Chain A
Amino acid sequence: MRLIKLFILAMFIILAFLVTGCSTTVPVTAKFPSVPDTLLEKCPQLKTIEGEKISIIDYTKTVTINYTTYYECAVKTDAWTEWYQTQKSIFEEIRK
């Protein structure tokens, strides 16, 4: 009987040892999507009007250049929104 008790005890110890060490780490990781370099460029500073005698022509040209700069920068901002929405939908598909 002592042998049986010893055997049972040994089996329980072995079983307790076996059930430990369950790993829950998921070995698949999705990399954060890279952003195009164009989107990382800073928007340029708007142009100022310099000089002593400024005509309405120079004034209009500077304003035109600044409006163009704004629209060019707006393209990048809109592209950021599009980039985010596209990448979000792509990576949400993984979970489906």
Chain B
Amino acid sequence: MWLMNFLPNWIFHIILLAGILGLVASFMLKFIPFISTYTLPIQVASILLLVAGVWFEGAISNQTAWETRVKEMQVKVAEAEAKSAEANSQIVTKIVKKTKRIHDKGDNIITYIDREVVKNNEVIKFVENCPIPEIIINTHNAAALNQPIETKK
């Protein structure tokens, strides 16, 4: 609340204390001429101060509870942000490792094709006698590009 940020808390404690003291004085110090003359106004003012004082005490207590929760939340958010960064770092490490493993396996297969498959007699015979039809290539390329197949008649 803006007023509580604007004024120090002791002012609200004084308001409450003034209300209590005023009310007590209006009942117990009637032998003092000023109080006996203005008993009713003093009582009314004291009750109003008491009500305002109690209300502000409640507000201060509520404000303190909220401020404590806000501080707790700030700590939790900071911890969560640190955990989040750590998790990101772990995920990136995992991606790099897995990608490298997959890439290496792919390279190994390509190397195997260049080293072993090309020397295979059956393959050599197939390459010499059976060129891959254009329609197969077109179908493969269409699938690779996720495009419709262009039929040539």
Least CB distance, B19 to chain A, in whole angstroms: 11
A interface, size bucket: 35 or more
Closest to A26 in B: B70
Judged by DSSP, the binding face of A is helix
CA distance A3 to B106 in the complex (A): 96
Q: In the complex, how many residues of chain B place their beta carbon closer than 8 angstroms to a beta carbon of chain A?
A: 51
Of residues 22 to 68 in A, which have CB atoms within 8 Å of B's CB atoms? 22-23, 26-31, 33-36, 38-39, 45-49, 53-57, 59-68
Bound CA–CA A86/B83 (angstroms): 10
Q: How far is the CB of B47 from chain A (nearest CB, A)?
A: 10
Contacts of A47 in B (CB 8 A): 144
Q: Contacts A48-B140, A56-B123, A68-B105: A86 and B80 contacting too (C-beta < 8 A)?
A: no
Q: Which of B2, B106, B127 is A67 in contact with, Cβ under 8 Å?
A: B106
Pick from B55, B98, B132: contact of A55, CB under 8 Å = B132
Residues of A within 8 A of B (CB): 3-4, 7-8, 11, 15, 18-19, 21-23, 26-31, 33-36, 38-39, 45-49, 53-57, 59-68, 71-72, 75-76, 79, 82-83, 86-87, 90-91, 93-94
